[in-house]
Every structure is written in C-alpha cells, then in structure tokens.
Structure 1
Amino acid sequence: MPHHFSALDALAGTPVTKAHATGNDFVMLADADGRYSVDADQVAALCDRHLGIGGDGLIRAVPAHRSHDAAAEELLSTAGLSSTDEAPLWFMDYRNGDGSIAEMCGNGVRAFAHFLLAEELIALEEGQELTILTRAGLRTVRKVAEGYAIGMGIWSFIDPELAQNNASDALVMARGLEDPRPALSISMGNPHTVVALPEAETLEALDLTEKPTVDPVPPHGTNVEFVVPGEPLVEDGVGHVRMRVHERGVGETMSCGTGACAAAAAVRVWAAQDGVDTWAVQVPGGDVMVRFIPRQDGAEDVELSGPAELVMSGTLR
C-alpha cells in the first residue's frame, strides 16, 4: 500500500478522467503542455482497482511535438509529420494497466477521441475525421451515429508462411481446456493470437484469471482471443463472432478493439468467408463492428466502430 501512495505523490493535483469503450476502461490524462512524465509505477498505481482509480490502461493525450516520447518523435521525424501548438497532432500515449508501454488499443482510440472532444481540445462533427498518432502509426477517427469509427490500418499474419499453409501457427492452452488448441497469430499493429472454440459453453467455462500459454509466443508477447463463430455465421451479409480476450500486461478485459479486428480476420481465414466484409463482434462489454476494406495492393484496411463513454472526472489527492 505505501508503494502505491508514494507512486502517486508526484501526481497530486492532476486532473484525471475515467472512460470506457464497451467495458475496456482507461484512466485519461490531458497533457496539452507536455508537463507530465508518467512512469510505470504511477500507471500501475492509478490503474489498480483497489488502491487507485482502476483501469485496463492509462492514456495520456499530448501533442506529438510535446510528448517527450521516443516513438512519437521518431514517427514525426521519419514520416515528415507536422505538429505545432497552433495545429497539434494528438499523440495517444497508451500504457497497459501494469505500466508497460503498448503500441495502441482500438477501444482506447475511441475513448481517446471522445475525451479530446469533451476536453474541447478538438472539434469533431458527425461525419468528420480526425488523424491521431499512436505508437503503431497514424490512425483516423470518424464521428458516426453509434460513436466513433477508427481506421485501424492493415491486418497481417505474424507468420505468413505458417498461417497460409495451415491456418494455424501456434498452440494455446488455458484453464478450462483439456488440450492445447491450434491458433492463428495476427498483427493489428500489436500482436494477437486467436483460438476458435466449438461452442459458447466452452467459451464461458474458460478461467482467464491465469495467463494462457502460447507456443511459440510472438517476439513481443501477445494478446489471446478465444472466439466462437455465430450460428449462423453470416446473416444478412454480416458475420457474427463472440469473443473473450486476455490482454498482455492486463489480464482478461471486457473488450479489446484490435482483438475484435484480429478475431474477425481469423474467422474469415478459417471459414473462407473473405467475401464478407462486415462483422459484428460480441464481447462481454457490448458489441463492436469490424469492416474490411480491400486495397489495390491486395492487402486490407480494417475499420472498427462502436461507442465510448466518460464515467467521471476528478483531481488526484
């Protein structure tokens, strides 16, 4: 307990907001002047559900040129991007609940955009788009009736050769499964390993309080999604999938945006349903929509849409 209190001492007086997107919850910190340098212990203390505010992660909203973040500065430099006080390119400084740095979070992007709007740091009308910077690169956010639609970038196989030949590149074991299950590893800018299960009862019986084992595990670890295809799989041109997820550095969460995209992509590969471009993914925290958009180079962009909510705002004691 003293560890948590001492970690938060330096942040006393800091305004914070709690937000969630389909149950994936975040501590939000506005840092327009680049004043805050939040370390791993402070993030873990803030995200602690008993001794802190509680959250799956922390998101600091900061102009890219004031971020003091090596990844953001490198992306600005190599891509020739512009960010100024007059026209800031907002950087989503995302940390997992244990304080570790992460590339991005699809649900977090929706919460991030909603937070920027509520803080009057941006103006965004329905139908308009905003470009933000994440450690996985630029992402576009469009305001839509159901919340926000996020351009998630291209999906790809982590091991293309294994994935294309066998539709499986790993074995996953979790509490509640009798034997390891074949899985497919997919990149959405961050790593995911997707496991198909035969029925909803098996999905519900999983105990994800313990981290699943993945063999081989991707170089930077992985998020693990367990999915059950809908019955019917496709209805009125829309695919349906149920999902639970264990996230790196967090544990089980009620939702994962990039995970929902990876889950839909994997089910399309397994079911040879690549002609179905729109997928409804049901997670414990609600529903999101995933849309695949073909590119001229043969790859596919992915768009994720769904709601975001602000829960509370306050000041750290």
Structure 2
Amino acid sequence: MAIDLHFTKGQGTGNDFVLYTDALGENDVTPQQVAAICDRHFGVGADGVIRAVRSEHIPDGEKALSEDPAAEWFMDYRNADGSTAEMCGNGIRVYTRYLIDNGLVDLEPRETLAIGTRVGVRDVQRSSTGFQVDLGRWRLEPGDPLVRARNLQVARPGLGINLGNPHVVVALADAEELASADLAYVPQVEPEPIGGVNVEFVVPHDPLIKDGVGRITMRVHERGSGETLSCGTGAAAAALATRHWAGRGAPDIWRVDVPGGTVGVRMFPTEDGEHVSLSGPAELVFEGDLALA
C-alpha cells in the first residue's frame, strides 16, 4: 500500500532511527518499505524504523496497557531488514525525545514515562546525559555458545544474556583484536539461536575499575541491522557479562564506550529481582517527507 510519510531522523550514540507518528494505527509500513527507508544508499538510511502508535490501537499495545494503564504510547520497532524487534535501548530514548518534542507527552525532571514495548512496559526518566530507561529484569542464558567472526582466528566462548531480546557477549584480548573483527559479516554462533541473536565483542579497560565505575569498550553486530555504532541493550548485556566474569566485588555502575559515544549502565535490586538501566543521549536530527510505494 502506497503511503505518504512525514518522518523524523533521530540518533542515540550513533544508533539511528526513522520515526513517524501513526497514533490510530492506520499507517503501518511493510517489511519491504522498512528496508527501503533504512537503505543507506537509496533511502533515508537508519538502523531501524520506530512507529509512534497509541497502545490501545494495536494488539501488542493492549497487552502493555493491561500491564500498566499509563503506557499510552507503544514503541513499534522494526530492524533495518524489516523484521520486528522486541526492544531497543537506544531507540526508546530517541523515541521518548520524539514524543516530547512533538508535543505528544510531557516529561518533567523526576517524572517517569511508561512506554509499551513487545517485552512489556519500560519506564523512562530524564537524566544528566539525556534519558535513562529501566530495561527490567535480565537473565543469564544456559549453555556455552561459541562465536566465530571474520578476521578472528579461532572461535571464542560467549555468554548468553537476555534483556527481553537475546545477546551473546564475547571477551577479546585488546583493542587491536577488537578493531580487527570484520562485523560486516554476520558472526556465526554455535549452537545457532532460533530467531538470531545480537553479538557484542568487549574489551575491558586497564584498569577495569576507576573511581568505582567499571569501564569497557564494545562493538556489536545487531541481528537484522548489521554492525551499528551503538546498541543500548547490547551495552547493558556487555556490562552484565563483564561483571559476571570479574566476580565478587565488581561494581554495579558501568561506562560502556561504543563507536558512537558512551552510555551508562547501572544494576540495582527491586522487589522482583535485579534490574538494569541504560542512560545516554538522544537527539533528533532532521525531518522530511517520503512517498512509499
């Protein structure tokens, strides 16, 4: 179906998105249209597309409302290849900026905005660096995956971390090895996860901990999008994995450097288990109009 689309381009530490409003859920885009929008040569170019839709108008949004009636808006996120994704940590911060700047919501300091996603409601607050999102409970996945990446000579052990979307985190020896990995090619994970997985490659800083804050550098290959300059849930997964490897005494506050900038990760206890939050910038870059076939 052909549609005329007024869009906004936004980014969070270089993880970029095309956003548009479809409050009543009447102008969904097809996977082919998403791929065309995200094409960096023939389209706008982005890591994904985010549709702003009122939760009451789509089935996934109705589930979010049953969890939290305050989740008026649903983040309908699609990867660059058109496939649906459960969540996006950078995307939800950019989405929050979009809702505020377009007058769709108000969010004062210390207030919390509930946003519906495919893995449930996520709470967002303003932070000193932009916005902070509670990514919810996380879990360590069973198994011992092996990861092969182009230009890395041997398969590396990975650690499975689930934040509502799946991740496998791999530790590398140094910055030179991290730079050598060719993430234009999809890393091969054994056993192969059903539905794919995001793969993060991590190098700890030296020293790992400074002033009580853990520090790591990360690159990522996102399923459905390829290598991106940043991945919010991936940064959280990388920090969680590094804390796991570091053992007792490792901090709960982390700085994660990615090619597109720096994000903050914090682990904290709640009544339903440990949660992890992500903080970082969110910027709207430009607006435009598209005629989609």
Q: TM-score, normalized by length of structure 2?
A: 0.95
Q: 1:201 & 1:44 partners in 2: Cα distance?
A: 33
Residue matched to 1:276 = 251
**Preserved contact between residue 18 and residue 312 of structure 1 (Cα < 8 Å):** yes
What are structure 1's unaligned runs of at least 5 residues?
Answer: 1-8, 163-168
> Is 1:313 matched up with 2:287?
yes
| 1:217 alignment counterpart | 192
**Aligned length in residues:** 291
Aligned residue for 2:3, secondary structure, equals coil
1:206 maps to which of 181, 188, 195:
181
In the alignment, what sits opposite 2:69? 82
Q: Counterpart in 2 of 1:37?
A: 28
Q: Distance in 1 between matches of 2:271 and 2:26?
A: 43
Residue 137 in 1 paired to residue 126 in 2?
A: no
* Structure 1 residue 131 displacement after superposition: 0.5
Map of 1:28 onto structure 2: 19
How many Å separate the matches in 2 of 1:58 and 1:231?
Answer: 37
**How far, CA to CA, are the matches of 1:61 and 1:22 in structure 2?**
21
Q: Residue 10 of structure 1 aligns with which residue?
A: 2
| Deviations 1:49-91 (CA, angstroms, capped at 9, x unpaired) | 1111110000001110113xx43334445x3x437xxxx6110
- Equivalent in the alignment of 2:98: 115
Percent identity (aligned): 52
Mapped pair 1:52 → 2:5: no
* Amino acid paired to 2:10: A
1:11 positional shift = 2.1
Counterpart AA for 1:33: L
Counterpart for residue 71 of structure 1: 60
Structure 1 residue corresponding to 2:262, chosen from 287, 304, 310 = 287
RMSD: 1.5
Change (3 A) 1:273 1:316: farther
Picking from 101, 111, 129, the partner of 2:84 is 101
CA distance in 2, matches of 1:73, 1:127: 27
Amino acid at match of 2:277: E
Which of the numbers 277, 280, 285 marks the counterpart of 1:303? 277
Q: Tell me the amino acid that sits aligned with residue 73 of structure 2.
A: W
Q: State the shift of 1:217 in Å.
A: 2.6
Unaligned runs of 5+ in 2: none
* CA shift in 2, pair 1:49/1:274, >3 Å: farther
Equivalent in the alignment of 2:211:
236
Runs of 4+ in 1 over 2 A off after TM superposition: 70-77, 217-220
TM-score (norm 1): 0.88
